[in-house]
Amino acid sequence: MATSLSPRNLGPDDGEFRWAMDGSLSRFVAPAETTGGAYAIVEDHVGGGEGIPFHRHPGDNESFYILEGEVTFHVEDKAPFAAVAGSHVFIPGEVSPAFQVTSETARYLIVTTPRHEQFYRAISRPAVSRELPPAEPMDMEAVEAACQAWGVEILGPPPGAFSE
């Protein structure tokens, strides 16, 4: 990818804000187009109890840096662990994680691949405010279509992590 990069300064209220189907307010801090396709950074603000089921996205690694709150990660058959503000969690794309916000809210940065950034876009829509989205059921057909398009496999909920 041959692009001309230039310095960039993004203020705390700047960037593209989107509501994701998992109930998060996502801010695209460093879209891949601004990094020469090297990586993407997304900041998520998520309400308590929200989470992501066991899944896998081969070739698309993710790093999570927790800014506020607590997130419990389940990684394959290992014991769950809590990540709090200041924690870093690296998940290789071939590994199957799930996670849930276990504090009132949480904010974290996700550093991932340009391809996985496109998946995040596919499961979100432009935010109409800078607040968490209203509670509504996930559009599972849209999630399944995004998974198919961007190589994400949903494997099932983590044991006992999500309450109905």
Domain borders along the chain are: 16-156
Q: Which two tokens stand for residue 150?
A: 């961007």
Q: Which residue has the higher pLDDT, 128 or 143?
A: 128
Distances 136 to 24, 81, 132, 140, 143 between C-alpha atoms, Å: 12, 28, 12, 12, 14
Q: What is the pLDDT of residues 23-73, one digit of tens each?
A: 899 999 999 999 999 999 999 999 998 888 899 999 999 999 999 999 999
Average pLDDT of the residues in 78-101: 95
Q: Is the dihedral of CA 41, 26, 105, 163 positive or negative?
A: negative
Q: In the CATH hierarchy, which top-level class contains the domain 16-156?
A: mainly beta
Q: Is the dihedral of CA 16, 17, 18, 20 positive or negative?
A: positive
Report yes or no: 60 and 91 within 8 Å, Cβ to Cβ: no
